């Protein structure tokens, strides 16, 4: 955190409020004033906070644990504590990434990292999403990097069956909504979705793309999206950096 008036607050020794609660309140106020870019940096270490506020490390640790329980900070092993990103909900639901993020008052952007026609789904996808041999035909593969206010938050791999989209080609993709493209050209719209979410560790490639530390914790979401006619038209693997809230709902429209 930057120096200035935000850091001149002090622990009141005569207060009836426990010191760890006072420190948690001070840090919460400082975190609320951070910019998106500042939120990508680690908080001061336990030792630094201990010296700055004249508190024991145990008291500092208690304050940080309280903030972590409130979802305001998260710990990265060997790197310290980081502020969480502002809450983002429904990224993996039916609203497009672009519209949902803008609804939260933030600026979304997407970078296409790869697009290609492939013979079938990777083994990991078939296992996680219970894909039958009959369903595992030619696909159009799309890899995108999702950003919010310029900060990378997810790598999204999507596979779309050529049987449903025979004319879909890698050149059709751009940084606009995929769902809008599918609805406009093929009349295909999502009706319900189902997702499996599990923790994992960042590979070297994931670390580079998400700008996080090697072996940092990540969340992996495996998802199928289905039409009203119960046709699976999208299978997705999303890898999310930690440090923001995510809600994924399973529901059917109308």
Tens digit of pLDDT at every position of the chain (254 positions): 544 434 457 899 888 899 999 999 999 999 888 876 787 788 999 999 999 999 999 999 999 998 888 778 887 777 888 887 665 444 444 456 666 677 777 788 889 999 999 999 999 999 888 888 778 899 999 999 999 888 899 999 999 999 999 999 888 887 667 888 898 899 998 888 888 888 889 999 999 999 998 888 898 999 998 888 888 999 999 999 986 655 555 544 43
Q: Distances in Å between the alpha carbon of 90 and those of 67, 94, 246?
A: 24, 8, 7
> Token pair of 201, please?
């560790």
Cβ contact 92:223 at 8 Å: yes
Distance, in Å, from the CA atom of 140 to the CA atom of 170, rounded to the nearest integer, reads 7
What residues contact 5, with CB distance under 8 A and at least 6 apart? none
pTM of the model: 0.62
Determine the length of the chain. 254
Q: Which domains does the chain have, with CATH numbers?
A: 5-83 (1.10.10.10), 97-241 (3.40.1410.10)
């Amino acid at each position: 955190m930057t120096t200035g008036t935000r850091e001149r607050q002090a622990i009141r020794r005569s207060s009836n409020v426990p010191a760890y609660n006072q420190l948690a309140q001070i840090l919460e106020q400082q975190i609320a004033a951070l910019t998106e870019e500042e939120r990508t940096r680690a908080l001061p270490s336990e030792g630094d906070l201990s010296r700055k506020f004249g508190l024991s490390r145990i008291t500092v640790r208690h304050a940080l644990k309280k903030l972590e329980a409130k979802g305001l900070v998260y710990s990265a092993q060997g790197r310290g504590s980081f502020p969480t990103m502002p809450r983002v909900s429904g990224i993996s639901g039916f609203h497009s990434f672009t519209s949902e993020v803008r609804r939260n008052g933030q600026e979304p952007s997407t970078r296409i990292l790869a697009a290609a026609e492939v013979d079938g789904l990777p083994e990991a996808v078939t296992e996680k999403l219970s894909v039958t041999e009959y369903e595992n035909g030619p696909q159009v593969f799309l890899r995108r990097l999702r950003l919010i206010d310029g900060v990378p938050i997810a790598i999204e791999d999507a596979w779309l069956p050529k049987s449903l989209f025979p004319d879909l080609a890698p050149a059709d993709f751009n940084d606009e909504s995929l769902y809008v493209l599918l609805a406009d050209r093929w009349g295909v719209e999502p009706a319900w979705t189902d997702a499996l979410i599990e923790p994992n560790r960042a590979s070297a490639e994931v670390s580079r793309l998400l700008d996080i530390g090697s072996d940092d914790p990540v969340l992996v979401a495996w998802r199928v999206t289905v039409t009203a006619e119960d046709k699976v038209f999208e299978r997705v693997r999303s890898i999310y950096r930690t440090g923001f809230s995510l809600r994924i709902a399973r529901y059917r429209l109308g």
